[in-house]
Structure 1
């Protein structure tokens, strides 16, 4: 099965989906979802890139403080490393 996902503009309450000439099927199922309600967009989609743009008011003002790769608590505090006794 081949699936195509597109983010398209609604014009006069109509949506046009152009399929590639190599598309194998003559009948398709179309599901329409508003983009605002569908926030789980693919990381590669153009709409996702637009949603991930920071506000110009805060862009470039962040700072990294401390070690961002190390654990937040010592390993001794991790419950998963303690042996359980029965």
Structure 2
């Protein structure tokens, strides 16, 4: 009896999901948003800043902080190793 109820619930859930999925997919469409079809015009200052300058700054900052974090971790490991050696001595 429990097995049949469990099976019916699975079927009901699958049917409900298949029925609801197209509605959810259709709800994601936004018809009023313009869709650019051509390449980005880099002669405009705003496009140049948005697509070139800001990503370059983000990448540079990421690389700087990544190296800094690695250096801090290495220094912390060295300090811990030195403390262990001092305690053993």
Pick the structure with greater CA Rg: 2
Larger relative contact order (C-alpha < 8 A, sep ≥ 6)? Answer: 1
Asked if TM exceeds 0.5, the reply is no
Q: Shorter-chain TM-score: what band?
A: under 0.3
Q: TM-score, normalised by structure 2?
A: 0.27
